[in-house]
A and B are shown apart, each in its own frame.
Chain A
Amino acid sequence: MNQPKTVLSARALCKNFGGIVATQSVDLDIFEGDRHALIGPNGAGKTTLINLLTGVLSPSSGKIELLGGDISNLAPHLRVKKGLVRTFQINQLFLTMSPFETLTFVVSQKRGLTTQWWARLGQDKDVLERVQQLLEQFHLTDVCHQTSRFLSYGKQRLLEIAVALACEPKVLLLDEPVAGVPAGEREELLATVNQLPSDVSIVLIEHDMDLVFSFAKQMTVLVNGAVLCSGEPRDIAKDDRVKQVYLGHRAVHGVPNE
């Protein structure tokens, strides 16, 4: 396989909280159009890593590059402007706004229209067109005028991703997109995640292994803040260390259970 272009990379990324090492010299490469799953047991430092990449936390040491530019110390909203966008494990929506208003605002924001105070929100035809596309793509058209607070959890989850995609990301970080979604709404969400545009590189954090293995082309396993291994899903599935981590410490030390 020829080497695709790297869009997001982390080199020797470290983060300490006092004496606690949350991220330990992590190297990560995300390629153009990648479907990359980031997995690991609870407390492995997945969310910390996401927070470092998006700029919510600043790294103790190490370097982050986006599209060849150093973004290690860039403010979070400027990283978004450069194309690094995330969704949140716990929905972070504009709860008093409807999906329509939310997406119109986000698309306007992406196109630099939020400095306008005289125009009406949604006056721009191109913006509206894009909003309509997004609403349809995320199955939100029917509920687009309901206040987001009153949407079902599954719809809120869809909106959560729609908001991120409205930012026109180059790299999209999906933090547990299907966590907590009831079975009835799950299929819709999975289908939508699978149909995200192929030119957007996606990093998926997820505990649901069915989704991970059906979705990912590359995987990275984090344990105790460090990369345990990375590679293609079928290799990871066979990796003994990964099995040990997920099955518990007895196996790690090779002590037979019975």
Chain B
Amino acid sequence: MSAPMGITDVLSRHKTKWWEWMGVLAALATPIVFSSHAMMVNEIAVTALFAVALDLILGYSGIVSLGHAAFFGWGAYSAGLFAKHVHNDPLMGLLFSVISSGFIGLACSFTVLRGSDLTRLMVTLGVSLIGFELANRLSDLTGGADGLQGVLMGPVLGVFEFDLSGQVACTYSVGIVLLVMILLRRLVHSPFGASLMAIRDNRLRAMAVGLSVSKSLVVIYCISAAVAGLSGALLAQTTAFASLDVFSFERSADVMLMLVIGGVGWLYGGVLGAIVFKLIQDQLSSLTPQYWMFWIGLLLVVLVLVGRERLLNPFKGWRSR
């Protein structure tokens, strides 16, 4: 029998592949290579991480959400406020945002455990709208519609001051994103990751093999919220600013678009989607400032009808075989 060979096959599937190393190197090189576009790279890195956070619940666990900006927004404002009122060290701020976002995720997770996809879309949307309106109304604290101003970040690790060109900001974001991606890569290949995919594939059967479905979903919702909060915090720290649009519906919708473009249920789908989306946005909005959304819309329709595998990501089909 060829069973022993099969096992090495499967374990080798979890090994880091050459193109993953290439990706890490490419990511590390971006702050230097694209130093004149550092803020753009920074924004892509932050958005990519946000998309990956959404993928953890949408792609891996099958929970749809149209309001993931709630956690992104919380992360952004909490990091900004932490820097302003508590301590301006970036890493401490990140830690605070991650933990607090995780707890908010825990509180919200109970709203998405039951009901259909439609219920979840509405509930998650509602939560992000609540966040938006709170940030708007508590203007003494958040600056309301003017945004949170006067955030002065300290240097990263006490050494690297955020500069105007955004080089440090960009390196900082890319570094944190890479670190989180490494952790999440372990997570999705672990037994816990498998249990999420089992729930996504067939919740009834997952229960029928003795898995506590609710518990697993609560845990991943917390993790996803924490990662989304982290990305929001990165944005606020690197731009020294947080405005209401971190909570906006467009942000939740855009990130879902990116995920669909890059590939749902694939760890790098969010990253790829964010890169493609942001580059297209950048290029098109300079070509046709008024109509760039038209082209994004067209791309989306073509993508869904033709199929991403054939269009953009030929590796995915090959990977899952």
Contact = CB atoms under 8 A, between A and B. Distances in A.
Interface residues of A, number: 48
Contacts of A246: none
Contact of B201 (A97, A100, A141): A97
Contacts of B190: 116-121
B182 to A, nearest CB: 11
A224 to B, nearest CB: 27
B310 interface: no
Interface stretch (A80-88, A180-188, A250-258): A80-88
Nearest to B204: A92
From DSSP, what is the main secondary structure of chain B's interface residues? helix
Determine the interface band of chain B, counting residues with CB < 8 A from chain A: 35 or more
A132 B216 CA distance: 27
Contacts, number: 130
A115 B210 contact: no
B134 interface: no
A118 B9 CA distance: 20
B25 interface: no
Interface string B188-208: 011111110110011011111
A111 to B, nearest CB: 9
B7 interface: yes
Contacts of A88: 204-205, 208
B152 interface: no
Interface string A140-168: 01101101000000000000000110110
A97 B193 CA distance: 12
Interface of B: 1-3, 6-7, 9-11, 14, 186-187, 189-195, 197-198, 201-202, 204-213, 216, 265, 320-321
10 contacts: A96-B197, A96-B201, A100-B6, A109-B210, A114-B216, A118-B186, A120-B186, A122-B14, A145-B10, A163-B209
